[in-house]
Amino acid sequence: MKKWGFWHDFNMNKIARWLRRDAMSAWLFLAPSGVGFALFYLIPFAMGVFYSFMDSTVDGHYAGLDNYRELLASDSFRKAASNTFYFSLVSVPLILALSLGLAMLLNQNIYLRKWLRTAYVLPLVVPVASIILVWQMLLDWNGSLNAWLSYFGMERVDWMKTDAARNVVIAVYLWKNIGYNVILFLAGLQQIPKDYYETAQIEGAGRIRQFGSITLVYLTSTMFFVVIMSIMNSFKVFRETYLIAGDYPQDSIYMLQHYMNNMFMSLDIQKLTAAATLMVGCILLIVMVLFAIERRYRQFME
């Protein structure tokens, strides 16, 4: 027994040393990324939150919530915020429905399935700036789309200078991000055992019942992640909108990022940092609500 206890303690000490060595190696590999994240993201964001409560970035004094009150009283900020939230409210459910439908279609044995999968992934690797030129030629007043409308006897539409610009931005957002969601949903669908669907068919369950009781249940985790990523991407649509419409686009597509970019160009750092802090706070609140919903849903299913 003493000999067994000695070898047991010796092996445990050896395992503990290996674990400490592995942990140290892991921290050494993670250190460069951690330092880079802190330098370029965490520390600048903390400084931005600090400056949002100051009256100036140079020899400034504590101003309390004055910057936030001035920000909320600004018509341009309220317009940018309402446009951003409206865009997310419309585009996120739309991209979820389309990407899930396409994933379920590509999960079947259809013709040209591999080519279609590649086609949906291409927007992720093609530079946006080069593709925007195609969109501009397509949606210009004398562009291809208006030429087709005129050919069929319909009036031309000034896509980027009317409320139709919002539909253009939604289309660009869907085109750019739908492939990523399709990949995630495809991975989730392929994890569902086929036996469940066969058993459901034998018991007389229709396609709608199978979709609600099997597909959606097993895609809960994937759906949760896709929703969060889609919301975050909807707040990052500035690049495409800026390249299409410039600094001051049509009112319906004037987003929060436009407002912050214009504040940066005018060096109004206080409003810029206050707007950025509010936007991050709203995103965190939305994510926390989604976490709570997902947790309650799991408890209900259990």
Domains and CATH numbers, the chain: 74-301 (1.10.3720.10)
Residue 105 DSSP label: H
Instruction: Extract the runs of DSSP E, i.e. beta strands, from 243-291.
Output: none
- Which of 169, 181, 215 has the alpha carbon at shortest distance from 196? 215
Q: Which amino acid is at 225?
A: F
CA 214 from chain centre, in angstroms, equals 26
**What is the pTM (predicted TM-score) of this model?**
0.79
Most confident of 114-118, 220-224, 241-245: 220-224
Q: Is the pLDDT of residue 134 over 80?
A: no
CA 251 from chain centre, in angstroms, equals 23
For 235-254, write each residue's pLDDT tens digit: 888 877 887 777 778 888 88
Residue 126 DSSP label: S
- Which of 254, 247, 186 has the alpha carbon at shortest distance from 222? 186
160 vs 153: CA distance, rounded Å: 21
Q: How many residues does the chain have?
A: 302
